[in-house]
A and B are shown apart, each in its own frame.
Chain A
Amino acid sequence: MSRAPARVWLGTLLIAFALLALPFALAYAGTAWVRIANFAILYVMLALGLNIVVGFAGLLDLGYIAFYAVGAYVYALLASAHFDLHLPFWITLPLGAAIAALFGVLLGAPTLKLRGDYLAIVTLGFGEIVRIFLVNLARPVNITNGPQGVTRIDPFSLGGFDFSRRETLLGLDFTGPIKYYYLLLAATLVVIVINVRLQNSRVGRAWEAIREDEVAARAMGINTRNLKLLAFAMGASFGGLAGGMFSAIQGFISPESFVLVESIMVVAMVVLGGMGNIWGVILGALLLSFVPEVLRWTVAPLQEALFGRQLVDPEVIRMLIFGLALVLIMLYRPAGLLPSEVRRRELTERSV
């Protein structure tokens, strides 16, 4: 491998510095924005996980949020007052990711022979099944506490260091969300590195082969069953990891958080950003997390300034603009904002 030139190093340093300073800039605008940033990073993690399934292996999964739910509930049940269990996060998080991976295999196994639309329908059903189980597993034995959800979930803590407590260090005010921001950032960096390395590997190439032509892939000696299951499991484990962190940050979860719209949101992030291109997917996740929030804060004042009163419910306009933006992006950039070279070829040449 060639040594990166100085310019690349400088750029990396600048980005790193910006990412480190970002939460304090956001905190200046209000702690709510730090929380929004945290959720954006969670979505980046989710989108990168789904990108393994959809972008690399080409398996459309519309029930991806189920794995997020599994990770979140594993963490919540093992670290809250609900069962009065308070296991440390370095046990519950990996456990949540592992159980989510198991669910990934459970979903993958019966769908091995399905492709495209058919696979999408089955995965969509799977996502709903998981959510409905979460709603109903309250009787006769109360496992999930039903629609009320699980409350008072433990925050992350390591030794005496508690991630939810406010602390002042070197004159800087570290609130709970800011501490979580750094934790999420670190976790996401690891997820990105894993994604990049998987893509350029023997396994990544095999996934690409399956996506391109499954019959030819099998004839080349690729065990498509195992590799598809591996894609489902890897993708699901990232979802589970993100779910566990969501639980801890939020302190409260209920089946409400894992509805179909969330799955579709994550798929939209992957597709809009550029399936198969890690940087595109990250961009998609960030845009779809931030834009609705920015609109939330700008639509109402804008109407006030233009018309002197609220003509239309801001919430309606917000979703309208958001939907319109999605339609326009897909019309003008069908392969996504930052498409991978391979996917661009697929989506442009075949549609002619």
Chain B
Amino acid sequence: MSVLLEARGVSKSFGGVHALEQASFAIAAGAIYGLIGPNGAGKTTLFNVLTGIYHPSAGSFHFDGRDITGLAPDRIAAAGIARTFQNIRLFANLSALENVMIGRHVRTRAGVMGAILRNRSTLNEEAEIERRAMALLDEVGIRARANHPAGSLPYGDQRRLEIARALATEPRLLALDEPAAGMNATERLALGRLVRAIRERGITILLIEHDVRLVMNLCDRLMVLDYGEKIAEGTPAEVQKDAKVIQAYLGAPRAA
């Protein structure tokens, strides 16, 4: 399988704090790649460096063979990486449908003149934006709430809406930051099915998640971060047996 995203020695420090140190990994196209680690391990920092919100202090990202290190967030999205946020960042006062329509921005063209003149190509594009946004809402299962303000949706639906909005940018890599946080067991099962269905469409997935069962069931490969450093990588079964991982999560066994 070909490599879609490769990170080479990515570091990020804030003053004296090394949030991320020399992280290297490769994600195969079509994989569901998990990123786990205790709180404060640097998982979200890695997401922020990858998606251009922060500049890496060192290292580089190669996406589909192209160096994307340090590109602005909108260029990263245009390149084909979409993300969700750990602390949901929807456009809370806009409707669910509008949220997803905004996700279509990067793949559409109409400018000021098109908006003012409302020529045929602009009208066609608008209709297409709405049609695709509706289809995506349908896919994540919240079509019935299309016209509700995003901020008024139940928590689980807000997470789904964030995924729909990210999918609207037609990503090749979808980065999900704790999508199951705050969901109940039923919602988690449904989320697992949704993530698999997205992968079936040929979209590679990078997943941060705390729910161990979900991660182990879903991911093809895992990377474990602790204090900004990669301490293990492998299949779920391999990682589970790794001594360093056990130590990071449970602490070192005390000498009796």
User: Which chain A residues have a beta carbon within 8 Å of chain B's beta carbons?
Assistant: 193-194, 197-198, 201-206, 208-209, 212-213, 215-224, 230, 234, 342-343, 345-346, 349
Number of B residues whose C-beta is below 8 Å from A?
Answer: 43
Main secondary structure of the interface of A (DSSP, over half): helix
The yes or no answer to B235 lying at the interface (CB within 8 A) is no
Closest 7 CB pairs of A and B: A221-B106, A221-B77, A201-B115, A212-B91, A218-B73, A216-B89, A345-B93
- B149 and A345 within 8 A (CB): yes
In the bound complex, what is the Cα–Cα distance between A160 and B117 (angstroms)?
A: 32
**Cβ-neighbour of A203 out of B78, B90, B115, B129 (below 8 A):** B115
Tell me how far the C-beta of A212 lies from the nearest C-beta in chain B, rounded to whole angstroms.
4
Question: Which listed segment binds A: B20-28, B97-105, B189-197, B217-225?
Answer: B97-105
In the bound complex, what is the Cα–Cα distance between A118 and B91 (angstroms)?
A: 23
The 24 sampled A-B contact pairs (Cβ below 8 Å) are: A193-B116, A198-B115, A201-B114, A202-B110, A202-B126, A205-B98, A209-B91, A209-B102, A212-B94, A213-B89, A215-B89, A216-B85, A218-B52, A218-B77, A219-B82, A219-B83, A220-B74, A220-B165, A220-B169, A221-B78, A221-B107, A222-B105, A234-B112, A345-B93
In the bound complex, what is the Cα–Cα distance between A221 and B111 (angstroms)?
A: 15
- A198 and B83 within 8 A (CB): no
Which chain B residues (132-189) contact chain A, with CB distance < 8 Å?
149, 151, 165-166, 168-169
Besides A203-B111, A220-B74, 18 other CB < 8 A contacts? A194-B116, A197-B115, A201-B122, A202-B115, A208-B102, A209-B91, A215-B73, A216-B85, A218-B72, A218-B77, A220-B82, A220-B105, A221-B77, A221-B107, A222-B105, A230-B112, A234-B112, A345-B149
**Cβ-neighbour of A197 out of B83, B89, B111, B116 (below 8 A):** B116
The yes or no answer to B131 lying at the interface (CB within 8 A) is no
Tell me how far the C-beta of B203 lies from the nearest C-beta in chain A, rounded to whole angstroms.
16
The yes or no answer to B66 lying at the interface (CB within 8 A) is no
In the bound complex, what is the Cα–Cα distance between A193 and B166 (angstroms)?
A: 32
Tell me how far the C-beta of B47 lies from the nearest C-beta in chain A, rounded to whole angstroms.
10
Which chain B residues (235-256) contact chain A, with CB distance < 8 Å?
none
**Cβ-neighbour of B105 out of A205, A212, A230, A349 (below 8 A):** A205
Tell me how far the C-beta of B84 lies from the nearest C-beta in chain A, rounded to whole angstroms.
9
B92, B111, B149 — most chain A CB neighbours (10 Å): B92
The yes or no answer to B39 lying at the interface (CB within 8 A) is no
- B105 and A206 within 8 A (CB): yes
Inter-chain residue pair count (beta carbon < 8 A): 108
Contacts of B73 in A (CB 8 A): 215, 218-219
Contacts of A223 in B (CB 8 A): 72, 74
B53, B77, B90 — most chain A CB neighbours (10 Å): B77
Which residue of the partner chain B has the closest CB to A1?
Answer: B123
In the bound complex, what is the Cα–Cα distance between A217 and B90 (angstroms)?
A: 9
With A218-B73, A219-B73 as contacts: A202 and B129 at CB distance below 8 Å: yes
In the bound complex, what is the Cα–Cα distance between A218 and B73 (angstroms)?
A: 6
Contacts of B112 in A (CB 8 A): 198, 203, 230, 234
B91, B104, B107, B166 — most chain A CB neighbours (10 Å): B91
- A203 and B89 within 8 A (CB): no
The yes or no answer to B51 lying at the interface (CB within 8 A) is yes
A203, A219, A230, A342 — most chain B CB neighbours (10 Å): A219
Which residue of the partner chain B has the closest CB to A346?
Answer: B93
The yes or no answer to B200 lying at the interface (CB within 8 A) is no
In the bound complex, what is the Cα–Cα distance between A194 and B93 (angstroms)?
A: 24
Tell me how far the C-beta of B103 lies from the nearest C-beta in chain A, rounded to whole angstroms.
5
Which residue of the partner chain B has the closest CB to A199?
Answer: B115
Residues 41-74 of chain B: 1 if any A CB is under 8 Å from the residue's CB, otherwise 0?
0000000000111000000000000000000111
**Cβ-neighbour of B74 out of A197, A212, A218, A346 (below 8 A):** A218
Contacts of B165 in A (CB 8 A): 220
Which chain B residues (2-53) contact chain A, with CB distance < 8 Å?
51-53
Tell me how far the C-beta of A231 lies from the nearest C-beta in chain B, rounded to whole angstroms.
10
Contacts of A193 in B (CB 8 A): 116
Contacts of A212 in B (CB 8 A): 91-94
In the bound complex, what is the Cα–Cα distance between A216 and B90 (angstroms)?
A: 7
With A202-B110, A219-B77, A220-B106 as contacts: A213 and B118 at CB distance below 8 Å: no
Contacts of B51 in A (CB 8 A): 219
